[in-house]
Structure 1
Amino acid sequence: MTGHHVLVEGTGVRFSCAEGDTLLRAALRAGVGLSYECNSGSCGSCRYELVDGEVRDRRPGAPGLTARDRRRGRRLACQSEPLSDCVVRAPEPAEVTTYRPVTQTALLSAVRPLTHDMSEFVFTAEERAEFAPGQYAMIHLPDGRVERAYSMSNLGNSSREWKFVVKRVPDGQATSILFDKLEVGSAVVIDGPYGHAYLRPERNRDIVCVAGGSGLGAMISIILGAAALPDAVDRTAHLFIGGRTEADIHIPDAVLVARRRLRALHVRTAVSAADGCDPQPECGIAPFRGFVHEAVVGALGENIRDFTYYAAGPPAMTDALARALVVEGGLAADHLYFDRFC
């Protein structure tokens, strides 16, 4: 396989990048932890400077770069395909997860409707499904041009199953293919795992999971991961699920099964529409009327700083949660984990 070499200036770190791969993904495949979040050009976390060499920009107008960034010659590692050997200037390599991303073909084996506009898509891949609870993968759809990030809703397994909770986006390029054109047996390419918002089992703290929309998938994985730990019986978890109306809320059976292994699992819902909804029979607690981050603050009150938090959902939700917990609530920033998808 042809490719190029990339040197991170001042660190001595060098890695190979296969033809057509991005600088970021090649680094992660090599075990080099460059900074990133969304992997799609939107968040700007993977900014770097090209000192020497040539790259192709997959997405020249990506919102992850400001006008000031562009004036300073900054680029996005997740959108840069090296066309020659390169030297780059980037922050010190960060931590890497146990699992390095792998690209493989997978076949759609099942589609399970969850709500009026949300389904779980199940794919069977060529190799073992290896990822940490809460991580995501990039799915290349059959047309070859559309790629999107979706979080896994299951745990790593030897059955080669990758499950994703996907919410239909009106006129969405990716979801129109997934919901309307993909049939059982259709092939996609899965590239993963990615993401920093994975379960930290070594932290001896109870956890809070906050889900909005299809972010529910990642939080299912986190809850299942916590329930699978050897000391699960000593752990308490809180799951908050937000939606606009009752029709947007789904409490998976797998989460309720996980409750049996944990010391306690508290499930709460929040609806933001004025008409609200009826209590969810699965959790027995009337839904909070308002945004899900407000439900978290209202339920945990003065104990906010006692937990480790995991969140997945629209950027507006995760940003509001970060403000409420860290800026206003005094939570240490390293006790909140989420990956920004835009």
Structure 2
Amino acid sequence: MATPTEHLVSVDGSGVRFPCAEGDTLLRAALRGGVGLGYECNSGSCGSCRYELLEGEVYDRRPDAPGLSARDRRKGRRLACQSEPLTDCRVKVGPTTEVATHRPIRQAAELRSVTPLTHDMSEFVFAADTHAGFRPGQYAMIMLPDGQVERAYSMSNIGNCYGEWKFVIKRTPDGQATSILFDKLEVGATVVLDGPYGHAFLRDRENQNIACVGGGSGLGAMVSIVLGAAALPDAGAWTVHLFCGGRTERDIHVPEPVAIAGRRLGALHVHTAVSDAGPDTVAGPHFAGFLHDAVLDRLAGSLTDFTYYAAGPPAMTDALARALVLDAGLEADRLHFDRFC
């Protein structure tokens, strides 16, 4: 039986049950309990975690979430990532799996340092009391000190026993979260980290030829993938292409750990692209154009030889998916990214 501070969630027709603590979401509680539900963004935007509530009562954190269509709402569908059970519940969901990665946990973490990388992008380093358990390429939810603002950010390091979580974060104009992170959060401040989450993590047995495509602050997740490949016992057999993109040259940054990782990898090729390089602009060493076009140009003739990891604005990941899967014929399960909107 669930404790008085928990509600029991039963998955209809499966015999699967898991407890959900007060204030937790149905999705996160399931993952903490080892029950794998379908999801991507964890913020109500993608719609991957739709379900039906058959019995019980839930609080909807985001009633206007774009992840539900008008048809979904007419059919009574809800989003597991935005539903907080208020009673014991019975739900109808898609197929469940066993969580094959680290189960997410909530913990306090202290801001240890902030290092500027570009004019609007910095690396934030947090330290928690327990080890940092996650797969390269995953993300965590950061609840800021006001207790009202929570955002998803990908880790830019790899799992470690020091409890260190690093994030490459790009300032968003008028962004509620980044205005706190960049302007108000001081070293020594405490946040709540909830993670890891995400499916776009390094598959170390899938293919040793990989391409990592990071637009904007999506660079952080791709650096994590590169570092993860370099940490493998067979790193010398891996060929890695890292693509970094920005609007202009001042948006481009290749972190120093990437060069260090290159010493262990069989081959590491770094490509940069600037999208605002018009006919009168000199792109210099960078590819002039969109990041997905840089991938098509640099890997021409061998596009389907690679497994791809991507992180960045939805427009970038969507364009990459169309170019690789629809146009080039890449198998869909060879492109990994988490959809953030």
* Paired position in structure 2 for 1:291: 290
* Paired position in structure 2 for 1:204: 207
* Paired position in structure 2 for 1:153: 156
What secondary structure is seen at the aligned counterpart in 2 of 1:334?
Answer: helix
- What pairs up with 1:62-141 in 2 under 5 angstroms? 62-94=65-97, 96-141=99-144
Using the TM superposition, give the Cα deviation of residue 95 of structure 1 relative to its aligned residue in structure 2, in angstroms.
Answer: 5.1
**For residue 306 of structure 1, what is the amino acid of its counterpart?**
D
**For residue 269 of structure 1, what is the amino acid of its counterpart?**
T
Using the TM superposition, give the Cα deviation of residue 277 of structure 1 relative to its aligned residue in structure 2, in angstroms.
Answer: 5.2
**For residue 135 of structure 1, what is the amino acid of its counterpart?**
Q
Aligned partners of 1:50 and 1:153: how far apart in 2?
A: 37
Using the TM superposition, give the Cα deviation of residue 288 of structure 1 relative to its aligned residue in structure 2, in angstroms.
Answer: 0.9
Using the TM superposition, give the Cα deviation of residue 12 of structure 1 relative to its aligned residue in structure 2, in angstroms.
Answer: 1.3
Contact 1:7–1:86 (CA under 8 A) maintained in structure 2? yes
Matched, 1:238 2:237: no
**Alpha carbons of 1:277 and 1:102: their partners in 2 closer, same or farther (altered >3 Å)?**
farther
Contact 2:246–2:274 (CA under 8 A) maintained in structure 1? yes
Using the TM superposition, give the Cα deviation of residue 321 of structure 1 relative to its aligned residue in structure 2, in angstroms.
Answer: 0.4
Matched, 1:169 2:185: no
* Paired position in structure 1 for 2:231: 228
Matched, 1:28 2:27: no
Matched, 1:323 2:326: no
* Paired position in structure 2 for 1:215: 218
Aligned partners of 1:218 and 1:177: how far apart in 2?
A: 22
For 1:19-74, what per-residue CA distance to the aligned partner results, in whole angstroms no more than 9, with x for missing partners? 11000000000000000000000110000111111110000000110111100100
Give % identity.
71
* Paired position in structure 1 for 2:313: 314
Aligned partners of 1:274 and 1:205: how far apart in 2?
A: 33
What secondary structure is seen at the aligned counterpart in 1 of 2:68?
Answer: coil
Question: Following TM superposition, where does structure 1 have runs of at least 4 consecutive aligned residues deviating by more than 4 angstroms?
Answer: 275-278
Using the TM superposition, give the Cα deviation of residue 287 of structure 1 relative to its aligned residue in structure 2, in angstroms.
Answer: 1.0
Gaps of 5+ in 2: none
- CA-based RMSD: 1.0
Aligned partners of 1:11 and 1:179: how far apart in 2?
A: 46
For 1:214-271, what per-residue CA distance to the aligned partner results, in whole angstroms no more than 9, with x for missing partners? 1000000000000000100011000001100001100010001110000100000010
Alignment match of 1:259 (pick from 259, 262, 275): 262
**Alpha carbons of 1:24 and 1:277: their partners in 2 closer, same or farther (altered >3 Å)?**
farther
* Paired position in structure 2 for 1:55: 58
What secondary structure is seen at the aligned counterpart in 2 of 1:301?
Answer: coil
Aligned partners of 1:65 and 1:206: how far apart in 2?
A: 37
**For residue 297 of structure 2, what is the amino acid of its counterpart?**
G
* Paired position in structure 1 for 2:145: 142
Number of residue pairs aligned between Structure 1 and Structure 2: 336
What secondary structure is seen at the aligned counterpart in 2 of 1:115?
Answer: coil
Aligned partners of 2:207 and 2:81: how far apart in 1?
A: 34
Gaps of 5+ in 1: 280-285
Using the TM superposition, give the Cα deviation of residue 278 of structure 1 relative to its aligned residue in structure 2, in angstroms.
Answer: 4.8
Aligned partners of 1:131 and 1:277: how far apart in 2?
A: 40
Aligned partners of 2:39 and 2:17: how far apart in 1?
A: 18
Using the TM superposition, give the Cα deviation of residue 302 of structure 1 relative to its aligned residue in structure 2, in angstroms.
Answer: 2.1
Deviates more, 1:266-275 or 1:303-312: 266-275
Aligned partners of 2:149 and 2:201: how far apart in 1?
A: 25
* Paired position in structure 2 for 1:271: 274
**Alpha carbons of 1:161 and 1:28: their partners in 2 closer, same or farther (altered >3 Å)?**
same
Aligned partners of 1:120 and 1:192: how far apart in 2?
A: 18
**For residue 165 of structure 2, what is the amino acid of its counterpart?**
W
